[in-house]
Amino acid sequence: MKIAVTSDNHFDVNRLDVSETIKAQADYLANENVEIYLIAGDLFNDFGKSLAYVRRLQAELGSQTLVKFIAGNHDMVQGVTFAELESTIDVSYMHNQFLDIPGTNWRLIGNNGWYDYGFADNLPDKTIANFETWKRAYWIDGAIQQTMTDGERMDLVLDESTKQLKMAEKAHKRVLYYTHFVPRRDYIRYAPEGNIWNMANAYMGSARLGKLLEKFKTEIVVFGHMHIHPKPKKFSETVYYDQAVGYHNKRINEWQHNTFLEEWQARLAYFEL
């Protein structure tokens, strides 16, 4: 079965015509004979718009391609509660869910992910309270509703993922795990001392997730969030893919191609499972 994975399309930030883009994406996925299309978060700054997009894309593709998604931090900014994010709010939503690939021993596991400030440990003078305050003042995630601290939320991600990985292990499944946030320090960009980006690293993800995935010998991990273009990297028995498309506007250009569709196509990861 042919799987394609993307992340960080950012339809609103990139000022895309949604109807035109859905038609073009559907045509491309169909022509490529993609049977499952996975989205690792950050479609819109509104969960309701992200869900509506996924439903429209699924309707355009019909039965040929199954569309599944998880939420990134941008999707969580509005239009959804924490309780809804932790629920089975829609058949297309794969947070803390799994999907077995028919005729194979492969299992897809989705989890939105989160962060625990661990990637900002080069700032030893900063406390948890400092990171919480900075997030509320300067980071988009300050608008996200949640019922626990960031550390507790990351603990929940690890608990959920552990249960999913144990079930997969018991069922003798090979695993493709996809999430939004960064699971390894190797992808974090550290700036010169005093640079604001070093604070932002606190909200990138958690190395604890990567350690957990490697403990269970997870074969494939796909994520986004960092708008970079690394080649797939193997650590232990796990291969990591960052498939973020990223921003292209008057202020920021992270693309390597001229149009969204070209960049999106180039950033797709394909797996024959």
Q: What is the pLDDT of residues 21-80, one digit of tens each?
A: 999 999 999 999 999 999 999 999 999 999 999 999 999 999 999 999 999 999 999 999
The token pair that represents 45 in the structure block: 């700054």
- Characterize the bridge pairing of strands 233-235 and 66-70: unpaired
Q: For residue 227, what pLDDT is reported?
A: 97
pLDDT over 90 (residue 142): yes
Quick one: which of 171, 10, 187 has its CA closest to 104?
A: 171
pLDDT at 221 over 90: yes
Element (H, E) at 267: helix 260-267
Q: Quick one: what percent of the chain has pLDDT higher than 70?
A: 100
- pLDDT at residue 159 greater than cutoff 90: yes
- 15-29, 112-126, 189-203, 257-271: least confidently modelled range: 189-203
Q: What is the pLDDT of residues 198-216, one digit of tens each?
A: 999 999 999 999 999 999 9
Q: What is the DSSP letter of 253?
A: B
Supply the pLDDT for residue 48: 98
pLDDT at 193 exceeding the cut of 90:
no
Judged by DSSP in three states, 10 sits in: coil
- Predicted confidence at residue 245, as pLDDT, reads 98
Instruction: Identify the pLDDT of residue 250.
Output: 86
Q: Rounded mean pLDDT of 111-119?
A: 98
Q: Which CATH superfamily is domain 2-272 in?
A: Metallo-dependent phosphatases (3.60.21.10)
Question: What is the reported pLDDT for 167?
Answer: 98
**Strand order from edge to edge, sheet including 233-235:** 97-100, 106-110, 174-178, 220-223, 238-242, 233-235
Both tokens of 200, joined, read 């932002």
The answer to whether the CB of 113 falls within 8 A of the CB of 40 is: no
83 close to 146: Cβ distance less than 8 angstroms: no
Q: Would you state the pLDDT for residue 195?
A: 87
Average model confidence (pLDDT) across the chain: 97
- Flag whether pLDDT at 155 surpasses 90: yes
pLDDT of 194 > 90? The answer is no
pLDDT tens readout for residues 169-185: 999 999 999 999 999 99
